[in-house]
Chains A and B, each alone.
Chain A
Amino acid sequence: MALELFGTKGCQFTAELREDLQWRGLEFAEYDVEADAGALRRMLELSGGQRTVPVLAEDGKLKQIGWQGRGCVVGG
């Protein structure tokens, strides 16, 4: 099982999801979609073009958008 976290540095909800994953002892790869254009492209493909972060993917499939119902919007 491979977890991937797409987020941004400034987003408080990305930070909370990261904390939750760490607290649960899960391993994951994290991408900053504001710094990494390739990661942004992959995130948009995964989530049907929606621009809210954090996005969590599992085995290359969308698992969850946002954290506890909220997220930050990444500029176009």
Chain B
Amino acid sequence: MSAVIEARHIEVRGIVQGVGFRPFVFRLAREHGLTGWVLNQEGGVRIHLEGAPSALSSFVRELPAQAPSAARIAEVKVEQTAARGYAGFEILTSHKAGRPTVPVSPDLAVCADCLHELFDPANRRHLYPYINCTHCGPRYSVVTALPYDRPNTTLQAWPMCPDCAREYHDPLDRRFHAQPTACPVCGPGYYLQGVGEGKSLEGAQGPEARGQQAVEQTAALLQDGKIVAIKGIGGYHLACDAQNPRAVEALRERKFRKEKPFALMVDSLETARDLLELTADAEALLTSAARPIVLVPARTPSPLITQSAWGGSGVVSAVAPDTAELGVMLPYTPLHHLLFAAGAPRVLVLTSANRSSEPIAYRDGEALEQLAGIADAFLVGERPIARRVDDSIARASPFGAQILRRSRGYAPSSLARLPAARPILAAGADLKNSLTLVVGGEALGGGHIGDLDHLGAFHAFEQTARDLLRMYELEEADLTVVHDLHPQYRSTGWAQSLAASSHLAVQHHQAHVASVLAEHGFWDRQVLGIAWDGTGYGEDGAIWGGEAFVGGLESGFRRVGHLEYASLVGGDAAAQHPVQAAVGFLRGLAVDFSRPPFNFPPRFAEAERMLEKNLRVFPTSSVGRLFDCAAALLGFTRAVSYEGQAAAWLEHQALQSRSAEAFAFGFGNGVWRYRELLEAVIEARLAGKPVAEVARGFIGGLALGLWRAAEQLCETHTLDAVALSGGVFQNGLLLRELAALSRTSRLRVLVNRQAPPNDGGISLGQAALVALRQG
């Protein structure tokens, strides 16, 4: 009696290419004695299976459960089909039909198996810095076109040797169809290039060392306090010894980066534990395959931290002055592991290689040119980088892990599913720009780009947009293009220049709230949305930044509350000078702020005069500027050297106090009243209360004021969920206070988890607000 043979046609969508999915399918089919084939196609993976019905069911059940860890399955469709009588199971070569919609896999940290081989003297890839397999290694940073196959990667210039080819073609090998497969015999390598005494390109010498010798010399240079530019996955880093004050100061000076914190890479989790107050959540983020920079409170005291910049051998405070947190990552490329094994200092500054505010350098020539004068030497990798991919930044918040900068390890994977009828390109905001492309119902984030006021960043923005359209084979005419309401945004002008099928605009803060709803799949829910940030163009032309809305993705949002308007002298330029931002908020108070304890510099009086004459004065409801005002009252009276610095300083001060009574911050008639809040800060300061305590009372007041307003508005509008977004919600202490307040409430709090709460999340929100209304 012959067994019944049935057949199934299976389509799997999601991140299933470049993650070892076909070999996995091959193994699973063989385990169950099934025949047929598997094929990469632009929509994902297609499988034809034949065999006993019970074996077919087991296969379908086990497919999602046992899929490779790097795979992200969005959907599995199974259909009955006719059996054809296949004798075996095979992996067919990719075929191309229609427009690509499959998401490209992000770049992944080197896996444990590859690490083991890297340090195994008997392995043929012993100490080979480009080791990888189907479970790990570069993806987005090496793919040049879809489908993801060897000829469509930056490895195409290196034909595989017979050994690599054998592994690549063996379905049972870990490197079966691992597109960047390479080895010391056939693949690219690293070399060290010094810079001559004159620190110019003319003085550059040829390669000083190759391979392991180059790694060892680099480790020695770092030990010696030198600054080395090191090619990574998605661009160059500048590295130096974080425990060497002179090296750190030199890097700050040469990079024109006065105070903004530097990211660190530590050799191991043990070192991270010495340096940081690590929670289980933070550890999980640190060791995740994405390997982001994780913001974690520094340990005080720590055997690795010295507070004085010029003493001891600890991590110097110059790395991250005036902030409570350090940004730390673990090694993620084989090269990082090789450097630490060769004796590189165990805590390295590892910062994007660029001059301040420019995009990360990723082409060799460009890096050598831009970084001459900053780096003492270059560790150059021969594998080209297809596109720049910055390090991501994440943190464990009271509401779960949050991504603050979404790039390497996450981009270009889908942030959300959006029921869009046609492709959408969302241009984002001008600060912390990111693009979102919606194709095949998936919102794909192109990764962090930067501040578009810088020409280099604007070029990167245009390049990323072109790159996304090319990869997904889209023409401008296929697109609904959406941009911010701000008429002067560079992203607005650029979006309007595209020959798209339609052009729409979305208000900044409503985009913030929409990004949260999109992530949570709240396509049809009405919520209260609260967006607090530094600046955004309002519907009335004012500078908004302390907003409350009621609505949803389809209906859009109605403004139901905001911070009481204050006058902002100089508009957005006031963000550079907390005392200038403070003038309008403090108007009419009978206090001489030029005297102790405030000691405001002359800029305050100058701004006061402009305010009186009504010169360049704009109404604002920005909570970010309210933070600046409070920081100025508490002693931060100088100019900021990076965005959000005054607020970070204020949080740092507040964290020095265990708890303090929250100042009143009332809400009524749709308006948060800042005046009583600031009067309480001034009174406490005049009474000589410690700065830390006053800062804590201010942040506690904001949290309480927000929460009371949320409860009131949700009751009025019969809502049960509140979505919080905007850069202000990067403030860890504010989030903690809000988490505590929400614990006893029936209101559900939604925050950004995948998209950044700062302006990096705007493009997702723009796309979400038009996805259901493309017209």
Contact = CB atoms under 8 A, between A and B. Distances in A.
B557 interface: yes
Given A48-B541, A73-B505, A67 B487 contact: no
Interface in B480-505: 483, 485-488, 496, 502-505
B504 to A, nearest CB: 6
B103 to A, nearest CB: 27
A52 B485 contact: yes
Interface string A54-75: 0000000011111111111101
Nearest to B502: A72
Contacts of B507: 65-66, 69-70
A71 B549 CA distance: 17
Interface string A13-46: 0000000000000000000000000000000000
A75 B504 CA distance: 11
Contact of A66 (B503, B505, B551, B773): B505
Contact of A68 (B487, B511, B557, B770): B557
B549 to A, nearest CB: 8
A69 B540 contact: no
Contacts of A64: 539-540
B503 A72 contact: yes
Contacts, number: 75
Most buried by B among A49, A66, A68, A75: A68
Nearest to B492: A50
Contacts of B488: 48-49
Contacts of B511: 69
B487 A48 contact: yes
Most buried by A among B485, B502, B549: B485
Nearest to B507: A69
A71 B487 CA distance: 13
A73 B503 contact: yes
Give the interface SS of chain B, mostly helix, strand, loop or mixed.
mixed
Contacts of A66: 485, 505-507, 539
B555 interface: yes
Contact of B769 (A50, A69, A72): A69
B304 to A, nearest CB: 47
B496 A69 contact: no
Nearest to B487: A50
B363 to A, nearest CB: 34
B540 A68 contact: no
B510 interface: yes
B166 interface: no
Contacts of B496: 51, 73, 76
A68 B485 contact: no
A52 B541 contact: no
B235 to A, nearest CB: 34
A73 B500 CA distance: 11
A63 B556 contact: no
B668 interface: no
Interface in B726-775: 769-770, 773, 775
Given A51-B487, A65-B485, A68-B557, A12 B505 contact: no
10 contacts: A52-B505, A66-B485, A66-B505, A68-B510, A68-B556, A69-B511, A70-B773, A72-B775, A73-B503, A76-B496
Interface of B: 483, 485-488, 496, 502-507, 510-511, 537, 539-541, 549, 551, 555-558, 769-770, 773, 775
Interface of A: 10, 12, 47-52, 62-73, 75-76
